Chain A
């Protein structure tokens, strides 16, 4: 009897004294999973919903994702409608009130940066445009600084007990990141002013960062695959304004860029787009190392 009480009391005390469980993070894409780990360290437990080989727009609300969103304290996504086809459905089906839009558990990386290509008018005749701007902000590593700050602040808001850790880890990340940025910028100097063709309009942030100049996209409208007629038009443009290479993301169909590369006699450059997109893009830092290496290879360097 007494033993039972002691046992109960011990269990109860144990439950109270137990340090706060790790912050459960549901990351929509690998880059945000990596950033969450940089900021949270041991205080976060991160689940990554997609891989670098997947088009983040076309993910399905799979049972496994719903089950993992159920227990998340925060979802860390790109936002700007990139995950519009699945994330809300997952949140709704998970029955997890913490992740509902407008709550601290709904974090969009795009909310921390200024978006490019914000359309002046919104009409789907322009294709699958994103009404509030191009969502592919991870292509410019400079964006990681404001995003990491916002993420650290959000983690601190949800898990005040570890606020100090999040703040100091973010500061440490920012210091290391700034050093890496200097290095990347120096390596990427030959890319400045280089003309390129892109398969999908995923790269304005990369172009803006490295000073690449987009000559033409291989899709007539955003998200609309090219017809042969349009590809002929692309060839016409490339004859008058030659591009040095054509880039595409790891998850995209290789055929349009291979088709153009062959006919225009320029390299087709596959970029990781996110962590895991290529074997070399293993973490947040090597993602940009590999991107620059591949772009330089496209120049023949």
Chain B
């Protein structure tokens, strides 16, 4: 009602403006003036366009001229340090633009290799977490010498609209898995970014980060227990950065629902969804932080954990806080990163056919300090808790038998270069029914295109 009134008024006002005036003589002059004004504006626009083009052409010509001059002078100067520089002062270097396109139109390729030497007080490789019907990849490397997962990634801009990324993971025994394979928009308006394909969910702080960039060799205990170390699935994601000078990002995802804690691609193949909000900023030049809250809902049908079958809904709420310090923001020599996350979860459904409605909780805190270039030490503590699943489930994996699972981890690492890392990590692992002391020595290398690291 109101809208139509305004619209009608606006229309009337517009009509009024465009109605010819009645005073004919004055009107002709006014029309002439208008025409003149239009012409003037038109010419001004054209002239400024031409000026801009001229400036561009002059700059190009000057650059070309200098390139020629430079080419004839540079050798003299380089060859003879005592040659005068003054003549050169006004004719600096110039040349064709270098292009940062990786291998021209080939995708950027990078390879990650890593390997372990593992010693432990108990057998490794078949870990269970007390009170959790687990899934995904949560095992420690086997005792002795072993090769970790090898990764090959291919990335490139596809066209002006999309970027493409794929990581193939080669397991120890020869199996090849598509860890990630997604396309991502590069041209959406309003600071929106759309991703489709298989990718790691944006929930939590470290879920999106590839394993070789984790601060520790393994995922923190709550990630192992509740997300099978890392949640990745086939799906779509939309993120939006709020139009303010402060970092505020909203994200939403829908997944097929095949990956732990989902299973069986429920809801006609849209069995999981998530939402997250991130904010962060600089406290001052030396200190910065990132905080987020994430929610995940998944549905499972016959999710198999060592023969135990769960069907039903899983919910997870994650609060994350990351803090980074470097003196004056210069990370070269010394820096410190602290991260902590809390996890609140619930599983509601049937476990081997018996009804279950169980709350779970987990948290971890970690700190990594670089005290001189390329040398770091780190500490992490992580713990979990699960509610009593009830008498009918007392004899199942959901009963933690009074154990409060935790892991305490320490690491020492050195990077021989920006592309290689040696890491010595010790864990006291009391997450399962047999406490274990695990010592690993790990190398990780990356070669190919220069990688970028998330905050």
Contact = CB atoms under 8 A, between A and B. Distances in A.
Interface of A: 1-2, 4-5, 8-9, 50-51, 53-55, 58-64, 66-68, 70-71, 79-81, 84-86, 88-89, 92-97, 100-102, 108, 110-115, 124, 127-128, 132-133, 140, 142-146, 149-150, 152-153, 156-157, 160-161, 163-164, 166-167, 178, 181-182, 185, 192-193, 208-213, 221, 223-225, 251-253
B335 to A, nearest CB: 9
A114 B93 contact: yes
A152 B243 CA distance: 28
A61 B455 CA distance: 5
Contacts of A192: 81-82, 85
B98 A66 contact: no
A223 B450 CA distance: 14
Given A95-B239, A225-B373, A63 B452 contact: no
B94 interface: yes
Contacts of B333: 252-253
A192 B450 CA distance: 37
Contact of A81 (B55, B416, B450): B450
Which has the most chain A C-beta neighbours within 10 Å: B9, B77, B455?
A: B455
A150 B63 CA distance: 9
B241 A53 contact: no
A163 B453 contact: no
Contact of B81 (A62, A86, A193, A224): A193
Interface stretch (B274-282, B294-302, B386-394, B430-438): B274-282
Contacts of B244: 67
Which has the most chain A C-beta neighbours within 10 Å: B81, B157, B184?
A: B81
Interface in B43-72: 48-49, 51-52, 55-56, 59-60, 62-63, 66-67, 70
B339 to A, nearest CB: 13
A115 B67 CA distance: 12
B92 A94 contact: no
A260 B41 CA distance: 67
Interface string B124-162: 000000000000000000000000000000000100100
A153 B193 CA distance: 30
Interface string B439-455: 00000000100111111
B90 A178 contact: yes
A140 B298 CA distance: 58
B143 to A, nearest CB: 33
A192 B83 CA distance: 9
Across the A-B interface, give the 9 residue pairs with the lowest CB-CB distance, nearest first: A63-B280, A163-B52, A63-B247, A114-B93, A142-B92, A95-B191, A111-B97, A67-B247, A114-B95
B241 A95 contact: yes
A127 B418 CA distance: 9
A181 B90 contact: yes
B32 interface: no
B352 interface: no
Given A71-B243, A81-B450, A143-B92, 11 more contacts: A4-B6, A54-B331, A92-B184, A108-B97, A140-B93, A161-B48, A164-B48, A193-B81, A193-B82, A208-B77, A211-B83
B214 interface: no
Nearest to A6: B13
B374 interface: yes
B285 to A, nearest CB: 6
Contact of B85 (A62, A101, A209): A209
Contact of A100 (B92, B186, B454): B186
Contacts of B51: 163-164, 167
Given A70-B191, A223-B418, A132 B332 contact: no
Contacts of A63: 247, 278-281, 288-290, 455
A54 B241 contact: no
A185 B86 contact: yes
Interface in B5-37: 5-6, 9-10, 13
Contacts of A252: 332-333
A81 B449 CA distance: 11
B453 A60 contact: yes
Contacts of A124: 417, 419, 447
B240 interface: yes
Contact of B52 (A62, A127, A156): A156
Contacts, number: 247
B42 interface: no
B198 interface: no
A153 B59 contact: yes
Interface residues of B, number: 91
A136 B245 CA distance: 30
B281 A146 contact: no
B55 A153 contact: yes
A236 B331 CA distance: 31
A151 to B, nearest CB: 10
A210 B89 CA distance: 11
A145 B92 contact: yes
B361 interface: no
B374 A110 contact: no
B63 A149 contact: yes
Which has the most chain B C-beta neighbours within 10 Å: A58, A84, A152?
A: A58
Given A58-B331, A97-B187, A146-B63, A85 B6 contact: no
Contact of B93 (A113, A127, A167, A182): A113
Interface string B87-103: 01111111101111100
Interface stretch (B226-234, B262-270, B312-320, B322-330): B322-330
B402 interface: no
B381 interface: no
Which has the most chain A C-beta neighbours within 10 Å: B63, B85, B192, B418?
A: B85
Given A251-B330, A253-B372, A61 B89 contact: no
B288 A145 contact: no
B375 to A, nearest CB: 10
A59 B331 contact: yes
Given A61-B455, A95-B240, A101-B157, A9 B328 contact: no
Contact of A80 (B98, B243, B288, B289): B98
Contacts of A193: 81-82
Nearest to A99: B186
Which has the most chain A C-beta neighbours within 10 Å: B51, B184, B241, B278?
A: B241
Contacts of B74: 114, 208
21 contacts: A54-B329, A55-B332, A71-B243, A84-B452, A85-B452, A92-B186, A95-B188, A95-B193, A95-B241, A101-B157, A108-B97, A113-B92, A113-B94, A128-B419, A164-B52, A182-B86, A185-B89, A192-B81, A211-B83, A212-B81, A224-B416
